[in-house]
Amino acid sequence: MALTIHPKLLLLIAFTASSFCYGAVHSTNEDSLSPTRDQSITGIEVVNQLSKRHYLDIRLNDELSSRFFDQYLNNLDANRSIFLKQDIDEFEQYRFHLDDSLKRGNLSPGYHIFNRYRQRLTARLETAVKTLSQQIDDFDFSKDEQIKLDRKDSPWPNSSTEAEDLWRKNIKNSVLNLRIAGKETEKIKELLSKRYKNQLSRIKQLNNEDVFQLYINSLTQLYDPHTSYLSPRSSENFNINMSLKLEGIGAVLQREDDHTKVVRLVHAGPADKSGQLQPADRIIGVGQGKTGAIEDVIGWRLDEVVQLIRGKKNTTVRLEIIPVDAKSDVNTKIIHIVRDEVKLEEQSAKKEIIEVLDNKNQLHKVGIIDVPAFYIDFEALRRRDPNYKSTTRDVHRLLNELMEEGVSGIIIDLRDNGGGSLKEANELTGLFIDYGPTVQIRHASERIFREQKLSSTPYYDGPLLVLINRLSASASEIFAGAMQDYQRAIIVGGQSFGKGTVQSLSPLRQGQLKLTESKFYRISGDSTQHRGVVPDINFPRLYNVERVGESALDDALEWDQINSVRHRKYFDIPNVLAGLQKNHTKRTDIDPDFQFLKDQIQFKKENGNKDFVSLNESIRKNKSAHTKQQALTLENKRRKAKGLDLLASIEDLNKDDAEKTEKDKEDQKNKDDNDDIYLSEAGHILVDAIKLFRQEMASNP
């Protein structure tokens, strides 16, 4: 099985600018952290394994040392608000020497930089706690000033005075967000004071294991985002995630700035079933039970937030989130999720049938097979259990059932399928081709291996469509790519994730190294890495490809090509794409839900990616009101087109959501599943394709 886990899950990302206050640095020996002998030996082991086993032949030299230096500073102070320029000038002595130091097991430069970081941050947070109440009282929200949100390319402050002004603006922005959200001044003081005290406590609790992991991963991530050092504690969490036996909510999380962001939901997990949490939602608070206080988790470490969310089966966790479609960070909501264990049987492929009318009002039955993951029960397979569970076995059974029910064609739904077993991707491909190669794998040694269906056996040869999106990754991309290369299926949806690398775990003196050793290539010779699978027909994108996917990750391996392997072409799909695209465009141009989706995407584009935010309360409130009015206009445009009652205000829609019972929410999720506009349109495309294929075959007997 190819190991896949989001790289930021494995990094200790330190606190960001909105949590910092400036003051004098008081260095004491007892506050300083230093490396252990085991860490020194482990550092040497990491360097050796990277140089000998990583897919890319990257030398740890002065050039990489310079990038290592910059990456470490960025991981500590991404918003360039903790260190002063004088600190950076002092650290410059290390820029071209980190490589030589690490090869000798000398970790002192990394610890020196970190100790300065912790000293400054501790002093600044202590000052923040002492002066917060008075600062808030002194803020003038009628003043016309603004704050730069992303300072990653800005210079470090030249002086304490300049740094203090950055801190003041960050505090003011936090207060303004809470004021607009309706919080009273005393509550704001209480909340922010608690937040900074918590962060102060956490920074004091950091130990040399935390420093070592951050320092080493500042190097490994320069090789690629999936290569990382796992400390003993991180190794334990990684093994729990891979076993899928953890009792929790079934969500993959990552750290993004001050927030904990949802990367994806585990299919059939508690969060997925609830229908309340979505990828790219940000978690800012966690509460235990139905009435427990919501703990503010802004600025917390990822592992600490995960620990709060985890819990015993059948217990409730409450999450305060900023939804992905929120108009601003002040638009939060609280959701309830009952913890449970994600069961293998609930990860299984499932079938359904939809009925599609063609342009002559003839009804067609289309079979859907939803494949949420490429799974296999290896333990049962090793026991030689004849009924062991796997993706291919389940899909084969469902295919036979759908054929007996008289469907005209099949859709394989791979949306949100993050991958899994390479063996299953290969064998699933074999259900739809006569025989032949399925994927090529190039090792760091440049040797190329091929997975394939070796012998001709019965396969489904009817009309086929594969539906993908940005969260379809790894094994999903292998299957979809093979279907596209064989011209066996029409691929529709969104560009896939682009995760085309293979990792392995190796033990170290302390912890483990997860290292990229191989790369996937399609039978056409194209890599699935970085670019992913590009659909034959694109649907409007729900996910911003600049923020979600392999290409959005720093130092991701590039797309490239190797030689193709001979393979059969089952249909001349390029010959029918123009007709399919024409019909698709004609339908979606008049479909209210597709138009609403396109309007929403444009709306987010216009209202996102702001470099600066005003700290004037009147301007911010007017902007918020304007944004809400835009959202209301789009919603009522959709409602009018569908013959629904119009809303008087956007709050009416939010009020309806808030008043729904748990049963209402479950009913709504089921309704949303049935009203899946992507799946419905995929059905129409497949029906169109059936007719065009018949015409093509008739003209080419």
> In this structure, is residue 362 part of a structural domain?
yes
In a domain, 419, yes or no: yes
Domain limits at 466? 344-568
Q: Are 532 and 486 found together in one domain?
A: yes
Q: Are residues 105 and 224 in the same domain?
A: yes
Co-location of 106 and 249 in the same domain: no
* Residue 236 within any structural domain of the chain: no
Candidates 80, 69, 67, 66; CA nearest to 14 is 80
Q: What's the pLDDT score for residue 697?
A: 56
Distance CA 483, CA 288 (A): 46
Residue of 211 and 660 predicted with greater confidence: 211
Q: CA angle, 60 as apex, 54 and 63 as ends, to 5°?
A: 125
350-357 sheet: strands from edge to edge: 350-357, 363-370, 409-413, 464-468, 490-493, 537-538
Q: Is residue 256 part of a domain?
A: yes
Give the pLDDT mean for 594-602. 87
Looking at residue 473, the DSSP 8-state letter turns out to be -
673 part of a folded domain: no
pLDDT-above-90 percentage for the chain? 52
In terms of pLDDT, which residue wins out, 324 or 337?
Answer: 337
Domain count, the chain: 3
Whether residue 205 sits in one domain with residue 133:
yes
Q: Can you list the pairs that 618-622 forms with residues at least 24 positions away whose Cβ atoms lie under 8 Å?
A: 618/141, 618/142, 619/144, 620/176, 620/180, 621/180
Q: Which of 346-350, 370-374, 534-538, 551-555 has the highest mean pLDDT?
A: 534-538
Same domain, yes or no, for 319 and 457? no
Does the pLDDT at position 205 exceed 80?
A: yes
Q: 290 catalytic, yes or no?
A: no
DSSP-derived letter for residue 644 is P
**Burial class of residue 459, CB neighbours in 10 A (0-12, 13-18, 19+):** middle
Q: How far apart are CA 21 and CA 134, in angstroms?
A: 14
Residue 647 within any structural domain of the chain: no
Instruction: Give the Cα separation of 375 and 371 in Å (integer).
Output: 10
Asked if residue 333 and residue 395 are part of one domain, the reply reads no
Distance CA 32, CA 398 (A): 61
Residues 206 and 69 in one domain: yes
Average pLDDT, whole number, for the chain? 85
Q: For residues 222 and 286, state if they share a domain.
A: no
Domain boundary among 291, 306, 341: 341
Output the pLDDT for position 325.
66
Q: Confirm if 490 and 686 have CB atoms less than 8 A apart.
A: yes
Q: What is the pLDDT of residue 157?
A: 93
Of 141-145, 235-239, 547-551, which has the strongest mean pLDDT?
Answer: 141-145
Phi/psi at 170 (5° precision) = -65, -45
Contact 114, 32 (CB under 8 A): no
Query: Of 327, 360, 400, nearest to 623 (Cα)?
Result: 327
The band of 669, judged by pLDDT with boundaries at 50, 70 and 90, is very low
pLDDT in the model for residue 241: 45
**From CA 381, how far away is CA 572, in angstroms rounded?**
39
Q: What is the mean pLDDT of residues 432-457?
A: 93
Choose the catalytic residue: 18, 174, 235, 474.
474
Whether the per-residue pLDDT at 238 is higher than 60: the answer is: no
Tell me how far apart the alpha carbons of residues 458 and 477 are, in angstroms, rounded to a whole number: 24
Query: What local confidence, expressed as pLDDT, does residue 323 receive?
Result: 83
Shared domain for 267 and 351, answered yes or no, is no
Select the more confidently predicted residue: 662 or 453.
453
- Is 594 within a domain? no
Task: Confirm whether 618 is a catalytic residue.
Answer: no
Residue 655, pLDDT > 80, answer: no
Exposure of 388 by Cβ count < 10 A (0-12 exposed, 13-18 middle, 19+ buried)? middle
Q: Which of 281, 485, 526, 536 is catalytic?
A: 485
Residues 389, 266 share a domain: no
Domain co-membership, 148 together with 201:
yes
Domain boundary among 524, 546, 568: 568
- Once rounded to an integer, what is the mean pLDDT over residues 333-361? 84
pLDDT of residue 181: 82
Whether residue 640 is contained in a domain is answered as: no
Last residue of a domain, one of 206, 230, 254: 230
Structure-model confidence comparison of residues 264 and 163, the more confident one: 163
Give the residue carrying structure tokens 């305060």.
Answer: 320
What is the Cα–Cα distance from 57 to 55, expressed in whole angstroms? 7
Do 245 and 45 form a contact (C-beta atoms < 8 A)?
no
Structure confidence by residue, pLDDT tens digits, 149-175: 888 889 999 998 898 899 899 999 999
**How far is it, in rounded angstroms, from Cα 369 to Cα 697?**
26
Angle, CA 493 vertex, CA 574 and CA 671 arms, to 5°: 140
Read off the CATH number of the domain in which 256 is found: 2.30.42.10
Return the pLDDT at 326. 65
- The answer on pLDDT for 673 being more than 70 is no
Name the DSSP class of 576.
H
- Model confidence at 656, pLDDT cuts 50, 70, 90, reads low
Listed range (24-33, 132-141, 533-542) with the worst mean pLDDT: 24-33
Task: Give tens-digit pLDDT for 292-332.
Answer: 888 888 878 777 888 888 888 889 999 989 887 665 566 78
Is 377 labeled as catalytic in the residue annotation? no
Is residue 452 located within the same domain as residue 407?
yes
Question: Distance (Å, rounded) from C-alpha 560 to C-alpha 552?
Answer: 17
Distance CA 666, CA 522 (A): 40
Q: Determine which one of 273, 327, 499, 691 is catalytic.
A: 499
